[in-house]
Amino acid sequence: MRHDTASPRLDKALAYIDAHLDADLSLERLSRVAACSRFHFHRLFRARFGLSLHQYVRLCRLRRAGERLAFRRCSVLDIALDSGYRSPEAFARAFRQASGQTPSAFRRRPRWLPWRQHFHALFQLRSLSMPSRQIPFAVDIVDFPATPVALLEHRGDPALLGDSLRDFIAWRRENRLPPSAAATYNLLYEDPENCAPADYRFGLCAAFDGPIAANRQGVRAAQIPAGRCARLHHIGSDDTLAAVARRLYSEWLPASGETPRDFPLFLQRIRFYPDVAENEAVCDLFLPLQTLAPKIGSAATLKQ
């Protein structure tokens, strides 16, 4: 069997693009990163992913621009320059072509469904590249402490999760609870691939121990319960997170002899995209586990 030498080179180029969206991403630069002749690199890229190199870079930059417009307070000018455009007007034309909205209109009220449809090819490409990427997979078991949180539950189509996220960010700003001051958690109630859109739930949480006044966003007090958890430290895009979670259930759990506890999979966000490059985002994934039964002859058993 012949060894595939192209895939690792292409994956190296993808990782470089993710980490350097503000930099020169010309064919010459990326072909050097991939250690591949520029006469062939762009053809290999398109043959494998179905997009030209230029299309891929443009989609990545516009997607990040949309995330910043929707969730951050960066100026449109800064976003345009960081996306490789020489003027806000050129950026506005490209952004409108991608989203059907001007940058200012998208910032006020994003239309998520056409936005996601435009980036469908990008999401497909990332899914295609995942099987060949080496994703670190090291699990340890920890005792997670009871953690009071402020919780906003998104219910409905996962494509519209961005609206709930904007509401939650607004509540955090109103209550002066930035991620630097209050840890961020997500509760993964459902797998979007195995759930009708109308039944989908996703929990947005910030560590908070105190009363929560009635609010327009629907944020309420809740708690992540104490207990044993399998913990997996994940560095990289959320695109690979689903694959990591599947391995946790299909490989680690059967081999461990552990039993899941009656609480959903959850994660703690540590470093966030788009504040950092996607391949530099960091989170800890937690799988709640049942308490181990005391061994026969242990002190706990003898006291009974």
102 and 152: one domain?
A: no
Whether 45 has a pLDDT exceeding 70, the answer reads yes
Higher-pLDDT residue of 136 and 118 is: 118
Give the pLDDT of residue 50.
86
97 and 152: one domain?
A: no
Give the pLDDT of residue 81.
92
Whether 17 has a pLDDT exceeding 50, the answer reads yes
Average pLDDT value for residue range 78-96: 93
Q: For residue 114, what is the domain's CATH number? A: 1.10.10.60
216 and 237: one domain?
A: yes
Q: Is 259 exposed, middle or buried (0-12, 13-18, 19+ CB in 10 A)?
A: exposed
Give the model's confidence band at 132: pLDDT under 50 very low, under 70 low, under 90 confident, else very high. very low
> Which 3 state secondary structure label does DSSP give 162?
helix
Whether 125 has a pLDDT exceeding 80, the answer reads no
Confirm if 80 and 88 have CB atoms less than 8 A apart: yes
Structure tokens at 31: 């072909």
Whether 11 has a pLDDT exceeding 70, the answer reads yes
Domain boundary among 129, 148, 168: 129
> Which 3 state secondary structure label does DSSP give 141?
strand
d(C-alpha 244, C-alpha 292), whole Å: 25
Q: For residue 271, what is the domain's CATH number? A: 3.20.80.10
Amino acid identity, residue 169? I
Whether 164 has a pLDDT exceeding 80, the answer reads yes
Average pLDDT value for residue range 159-164: 95
123 and 144: one domain?
A: no
Number of domains forming the structure of the chain: 2
163 and 260: one domain?
A: yes
Average pLDDT value for residue range 236-242: 84
160 and 121: one domain?
A: no
Domain coverage including residue 40: 6-129
* Sheet with 147-155: strands ordered across: 139-144, 227-235, 282-288, 265-271, 184-188, 201-207, 147-155, 220-224
Asked whether residue 76 is assigned to any structural domain, the reply reads: yes
pLDDT in tens, 181-216: 999 999 999 988 888 999 999 999 999 999 999 999
Give the pLDDT of residue 294.
66
Give the pLDDT of residue 122.
81
Whether 248 has a pLDDT exceeding 70, the answer reads yes
112 and 180: one domain?
A: no
122 and 143: one domain?
A: no
- What share of the chain in percent tops pLDDT 70? 91
Give the model's confidence band at 88: pLDDT under 50 very low, under 70 low, under 90 confident, else very high. very high
| Residue whose entry in the numeric block shows the structure tokens 């708690």 | 223
145 and 210: one domain?
A: yes
Structure tokens at 273: 């995209």
Select from 133, 148, 116, 97 the least CA-distant residue to 240: 133
Give the model's confidence band at 277: pLDDT under 50 very low, under 70 low, under 90 confident, else very high. confident
Give the pLDDT of residue 303.
40
145 and 110: one domain?
A: no
Locate the DSSP E strands across the chain.
139-144, 147-155, 184-188, 201-207, 220-224, 227-235, 265-271, 282-288
Give the pLDDT of residue 65.
95
Asked whether residue 302 is assigned to any structural domain, the reply reads: no
Average pLDDT value for residue range 31-38: 92
Q: In sequence order, which residues have a C-beta less than 8 Å from that of residue 152 and are 6 or more positions away?
A: 164, 167, 168, 171, 203, 204, 205, 217, 218, 219, 220
Asked whether residue 293 is assigned to any structural domain, the reply reads: no
108 and 226: one domain?
A: no
pTM for the whole structure = 0.85
205 and 273: one domain?
A: yes
Phi/psi-derived region of residue 13, left when phi > 0, alpha when psi is between -120 and 50, beta in every other case: alpha
Asked whether residue 119 is assigned to any structural domain, the reply reads: yes
Asked whether residue 295 is assigned to any structural domain, the reply reads: no
Asked whether residue 222 is assigned to any structural domain, the reply reads: yes
Give the pLDDT of residue 300.
43
| Average pLDDT for the chain | 89
Q: Which of 74-83, 118-127, 138-147 has the lowest mean pLDDT?
A: 118-127
Whether 1 has a pLDDT exceeding 50, the answer reads no
Average pLDDT value for residue range 108-135: 77
Asked whether residue 29 is assigned to any structural domain, the reply reads: yes
> Which 3 state secondary structure label does DSSP give 275?
coil
Asked whether residue 50 is assigned to any structural domain, the reply reads: yes
- Local structure of residue 269 (DSSP, 8 states): E
Structure tokens at 274: 């788009």
Average pLDDT value for residue range 16-25: 90
Could you count the other beta carbons within 10 Å of the beta carbon of residue 227? 18
